[in-house]
Each structure stands twice: as C-alpha cells, then as structure tokens.
Structure 1
Amino acid sequence: MPLEIAIAGGGVGGMAAAIALQNQGHNVTIFEQARAFGRIGADVNLTPNAVHALDGLGIGDRLRATAARPEFRISRTWDSGEETSRLPMSAAAEVKYGAPQLTIHRADLLAALESALLPDTLHFGARVAGVSQTEDGVTLTFADGSTGDYDLVIGADGIHSAIRHALYGADDPQFTGLVSYRGVFVRGEAPDLPNLDSFTKWWGPTSDLQIVTFPLNRGEEVFVFATTGQKDWTEEGWTLSGDIDELRDIYKDFHPEARALLDACTEVTRSALHVRAPMPRWSEGRVVLLGDAAHPMVPFMAQGACMASEDAVVLGCALEGVEAEGLPAALERFAESRIPRTTRVQEGSLANDWLKKGGNADWVYGYDAWGALKYEVV
C-alpha cells in the first residue's frame, strides 16, 4: 500500500528523496518555503559518489547536458604554485568509480531533479513550522496555521531545520569564524590560465585562506570560491554582496595564477560558514532528517550536496517494501547506516586537510549508495 509522505524542504536532498520514493509508488508532497527557484546560490561540485547516486534516479543525462567534467582534482601551494596532489577525474573516474565528477550550477541541478518529479509534487511558499506524531501518523504544522496528516515526514529543510528543532530542541549552528566568497567569470576573461578544466584548490599559509576553482556550464564559465577569517558575523543570507577589491587585497601575496582568478571576477557574494556537531540520532518514530538538517558541514571536501544525494538514495532503499507500521525500524536502519559516514565527512571537512598532499579518495568517491544496505543484517 502506498505511503503518504511529506518532505519539508525542496533542495537537493528533498527532491532526490521524493524521486526515489515516487519510483516505489509512494505518494510524496514536498513543501518548500521559497516562492520559486531562482538562479542564485552556490555552484555545486558533484563527485563520483553523488553522480552515481543521481544517475540511478534517472537524471544523469539532464545533469550532463549543462555540467562540466573536471579533468583533474589538483592541490597547489599558495605562494610557489607547487602541485602537491593531482587525481585524474573525468573518464578516469568513470572507469574507477562508475561515474565522473560533474560541476554544475545549483539551479541546473535543481531543475534536473524537478524534471523527474511527478506533477504537483512540489509546493512553493509553504513554510513548515513544526511536527507532531502519534503511533498512527504524523501531523505537519505550517506557518499559516494549517496542518496536514501523513504516514511519514522527512526533514530536508536545511541547517535551520524546523523539523530538527521539533524533534531535538533548539540547537543553533556554530559560526566557524570563516566567511566564504563566491564568484563566476567567463572563461574567455582569463584564457591563458592553466587548469581551468580542472577542480583546483590553492592551500593558503593559514587554514582560513584558500581558493577553489572549477569549470561550469560545459566549461564556458569558471567558478571561484575563497574564504577569509572574520571574528563576528551577524548577517544572514547566501547572496550578500562582497567587496572584490578587498578580497583581492587579502590574497595579494598569493601566486600570480591564483590572483588572476580573483582579477577575472567582477563581483562576488559572501556568506558565513556554520557547522553543527554530528548527531547520534536522525529519527524519532515516523519522522527522519537528512541532508543539512541532519549533518551540516563546511564545504572543504565539497560533499554537502553529495551527502544529501546519498542520504536520499539510501533512505529510498531502506523504505522499499516497508508498510506504515515498519517505518520506525526502517528509519533507524537508514540513520545507523549513514551516520558513521556523514560524521567522518563532517569532521574531515572541518579539519580542512583532505587531499592537501595526496592520498586515497576511494572512501569518498567509491561509495555506492544503491548498495549501502545490501550486505547489512536486518
């Protein structure tokens, strides 16, 4: 019998979970607080583990139509430009991991996911305020005072999750002391720079200084991400305007090729980076968290959207063939499978030293979300 499922949050994890569950025949409704998806927000690095997960949802061709395929993942030293790590990606990753790395604008990723949803799945302008449950079902409460009853509620509503708050109480995210800057330039603005077809990270003299760059839009554009330290932060938002000249001055001692990346940008946005400590539980009864609602992380391993994609697939597999009365046990099985991995990635991202001087990426890139539960004892 199909389950009636509500998902709070229409981001990557929420829509991917909806696709996985609709493919099983369940009735799924997504409630997204935004009034529409715009072409804003961070650009997304989908490493092979995430592309493999999303390919299984049937959106691989749509992703590849707009994404770029980085040739290598490179680490370079801030002043000398020395390469300390170079991993083959693209075709090599496809052979090794079953999928390439794809770098894509977040709006294109969301559009690909939305295209695979059944009609009338996604409801905009619907802000979830809370959740309550009995043994027989779950009730969602919305900001306008309305309610809805479901067999299962999935909290995919981000780092400020109302579902997480309802389950586990207030738990404000911790400011890392870092502010991130994001910019994009047309490739032709810096045609002579090397490695524009690769994912490259410039490691600074201190942990608060780094520049990451990768291709977008089939290689026609280049995305630039940089961070600086800042003690206090009071503003909220992903599209706050940044001062490009101030950013260039902060990086004035970096290698000329690194500085040229910032010189090619005409404007940048900025946002603060927040984290939460790993959680020991993600589910209570018939309510479960995934993505940033469960494991927000800084972007230094480029795994935020990737972990959400994995979550969605593993959750779908955990719920295959499950009736309403079996939901609590299935949700616990899902969380127990995912928590060790996402905790390791959260901690590795915060440490910010992954692949700085080489190393094996297999434990990240080689993860098979579709087979994660296959050999577990139920």
Structure 2
Amino acid sequence: MATTDVDIAVIGGGIGGLTLALALRQRGLEAEVFEQADALREVGAAVAIAANGSRILQRLGLGDELAAASVVPTSLQYRHWRSGAVVAEHPVGEAYARRFGAPFWGIHRASLQRTLSEAWGVERLHLGRCLVGVSDRADGVVLTFRDGRTVHARTVVGADGVHSRVRRHVDDSAPVYSGTSGFRGMAPIEALPSLPSPSAVQFWMGPGGHVLHYQVGESVNYLAVLDGPRRWPHQAGLTDAGPGELIGAFAGWHGAVRDMLEAVPQSPRWGLFTLPSPLRWSRGRSVLLGDAAHAMLPHHGQGANQTIEDAAVLARCIADAGPEGYESAFGRYERLRRSRTRAVQRASWDTSPVLHLPDGPAADVRDERLRGLDGWLGWIHGHDPDRAIALPLADAHH
C-alpha cells in the first residue's frame, strides 16, 4: 500500500485538532486531520467555553454560530451544601463579556464539534484512522494506521487526548489519579422546579464533595464530584457504580441537589485524572497539543479552553517559522504555553479540597476568598494568546 505525503498531520479530530486546523488555514497553511472514530460523535454532554476560548473561536469566524447554539449564564454562584445559601455570586452575561472582552458560552459538545467540523469540511478530514505507529525519519515522520495505510508527514501534531499515541512517542509518562471521581448528567429544567437560579453556573460545596451545574439548551448539565475511591481500579476511564451510589453520597444535601441527581439515571463513575506536563512537548517533528500535553481536572472548566489556546499559539508559531522551522516553532510554542498550562493545572488540582471542606473556620476563609473571585480567576479568563506572544516570557502566562 502506497504511503501518502502530507505537510502537517493532525492526529485527533476533536476540539483541539479542528481548532488548530482552522487556525492554520487562516494563516495560509493546510493540514490533514486524522480521527480514529468513524464519525464525529458527541463525547460528554456539554462544555463551558470561557472568554479565553471564545475570543479565539470568534477570531476564526465562528462566533455568531456558536453564540446562537449557546446559553450565556446569568451569574456564577457558590452555595452551601445543606442550606442552599449563596456564599458568593459574580455576574456573567454582559458584565462578564465587558470585563474579559469575550463571552462565556454553555454549549453542547455535539454542537461545538459540529460547528468546527463543518467549518473545516470533509476533504481534509480522514475518519476511521486509528494511529498505531509513529517513527521518525530525517525528512519527517511515518504514521502507521490500523487499517494498514501509512502517511509520511513533515510535521505531526498529537491532539489525540489523554491516551495519546503521539505522546507515547514523545514522552512516555502516565496519567495520575486525583483521588476524586465524578458522575455526569443532563437533567431537563422542567424536572427541577426546586432548583434555584437554573440559568446560573453554580457550585454547591460541602464535606467530601461538590456539584457543578449550568444550563445548556433546555437542560442542566451537572458534574457531581466526590472524594475517593482511594485507588482507581485501572488507568483512567469509567467504572460501574453500585445502584444508588451517587444519591447515597449526597445524603443530607439540599433537596434541589438531590432532585437534580435523581432526575436522570445514574451515570458510570468517572475517575478524575490529570496528565503531568511532559519534560518535553515535542520530539523531532512531532509535537503535543491539549490533553495530550496537559490533561487537567475539570474544576475550572479549562480543559477545552486551554486546548483552544494551545491551537491558536501553535498555529501562529508554525506559520511564523516557515516550512522547515519546526524546531524553532515547537520551542517557542512550548515556552509560551508550559508555564500557563501548569498554573491552570495546579489551580484545578487544588480546587477539590477547597470545595470539599466541612463547615468550620477553614470553610469560612474559603467563602471570603470566593467573594473576591474576580481577582482570583481573572488571570485565567482574561488571557489573550495574541497579546501573550508579544510579551516577555516571564509575563506571557498571565
């Protein structure tokens, strides 16, 4: 079977791979996207796109379509687990867009994926292509797929997620279990008459767990996170939970939380893993992007947003360096992204223990800090990669 020659091969047709491909095209470069699935299906129920991600998608010309498919939350609220009292609240909506220069969107993953894939088109999207081998050559990289076909690429981008085959070629480190796990669900709003402010992004905080939810369409998307189990039975992924395990863990919590968790069938239990930033983000002509480089916990809703940031920066670096400047492009990209993604990873990792405090003095200190959240998390949502590229490296991750 003949080997196909391409300039840039993007492995993974998810949010990161397609955003990168579109950003490269905007700069006059064409890529070929290889996706192992035989169709681009919804993965997960919903995704929150903060200003640091939406500003990039707007620059790619997707703003109007994504805004039409999204719900803009009214506010961000933190609530007490049992009483439901609002501990801290911050406006989102127009105030958020003015503050950070771009909107906050709650959107179905399927809608985001569809918008990206339709913008990219089918001509350079290759489905059913599961990567099984990566080997370096002096003039590029040979990619071997399960169907027996091979591709010779001058540049390879691994946007293939936490279990990235490209990452195993670049840096063979394993995901790390956080000691926490989650359950996901999408509950119809009409089934939740007791839920206060369903259009707000809300964190319910309590001993040993928290629940995050926000509106997407006519439903509320939730993630319920619990401490444990102490050890996860396998390396990442899902495991079955016993009947009633989720609702049993939230005994004594506010009725609105319990109504939401009971409104839909219990999901599998999802082990929450992070992927430490590798010692190097590239090897030869192969480079990593998004979860393949720095999978993070979901507690700041930044997985997709950091991947989108990566895509914007990598496209700029590749375009600026020229066809054979991959070494300088990859080095610049890593320098610009490493410290920022590590900081967001660390902030996400530290969030569970803070949200899971029992009532008492430590929780009181946390609540006071949450009332000043704008200054606490503004560095995440206000980030603009175009501005960061022009800054000295010491300041670029803020």
TM-score by length of 1: 0.91
CA distance in 2, matches of 1:116, 1:193: 37
Residues 159-308 of structure 1 correspond to what in structure 2 (within 5 A)? 159-169=162-172, 171-206=173-208, 209-217=209-217, 220-228=218-226, 229-234=228-233, 245-308=244-307
Query: Structure 1 stretch 68-77 or stretch 12-21: which is displaced more?
Result: 68-77
Query: Structure 1 stretch 237-246 or stretch 292-301: which is displaced more?
Result: 237-246
Shift of 1:89: 0.9
Amino acid aligned to 2:283: E
CA distance in 1, matches of 2:38, 2:250: 37
Which residue number corresponds to residue 132 of structure 1? Answer: 135
CA distance in 2, matches of 1:78, 1:174: 28
Amino acid aligned to 2:329: A
> Quick check: 1:53–1:370 contact (8 Å CA) kept in 2?
no
Q: Which runs of 5 or more structure 2 residues have no equivalent in the other structure?
A: 1-5, 356-365, 394-398
> Quick check: 2:78–2:86 contact (8 Å CA) kept in 1?
yes
Which residue number corresponds to residue 371 of structure 1? Answer: 387
Which residue number corresponds to residue 329 of structure 2? Answer: 330
| 1:324 match: secondary structure | coil
Query: Structure 1 stretch 11-20 or stretch 41-50: which is displaced more?
Result: 41-50
Are residues 1:17 and 2:47 paired?
A: no
Shift of 1:216: 0.2
CA distance in 1, matches of 2:188, 2:82: 25
Cα shift readout 1:63-98 (whole Å, capped 9, x = no counterpart): 112211111111112123232321211111111111
CA distance in 1, matches of 2:131, 2:301: 28
Amino acid aligned to 2:211: I
Which residue number corresponds to residue 348 of structure 2? Answer: 349
Q: Report % sequence identity.
A: 34
| 1:201 match: secondary structure | strand
CA distance in 2, matches of 1:19, 1:236: 32
Shift of 1:184: 0.8
Decide which structure has greater helix share. Answer: 2
- Change over 3 Å in CA distance of 1:298–1:267 after alignment to 2: same
- Change over 3 Å in CA distance of 1:42–1:237 after alignment to 2: farther
> Quick check: 1:197–1:215 contact (8 Å CA) kept in 2?
yes
Are residues 1:144 and 2:147 paired?
A: yes
Amino acid aligned to 1:309: I
> Quick check: 2:171–2:279 contact (8 Å CA) kept in 1?
no
RMSD: 2.1
Match of 2:40 among 37, 40, 63: 37
- Change over 3 Å in CA distance of 1:185–1:241 after alignment to 2: farther
Residues 36-185 of structure 1 correspond to what in structure 2 (within 5 A)? 36-169=39-172, 171-185=173-187
- Change over 3 Å in CA distance of 1:234–1:240 after alignment to 2: closer
Shift of 1:172: 2.1
CA distance in 1, matches of 2:156, 2:389: 21
| 1:294 match: secondary structure | helix
- Change over 3 Å in CA distance of 1:243–1:70 after alignment to 2: farther
Shift of 1:191: 3.0
Query: Structure 1 stretch 4-13 or stretch 78-87: which is displaced more?
Result: 78-87
CA distance in 2, matches of 1:311, 1:50: 10
Count matched residues.
370
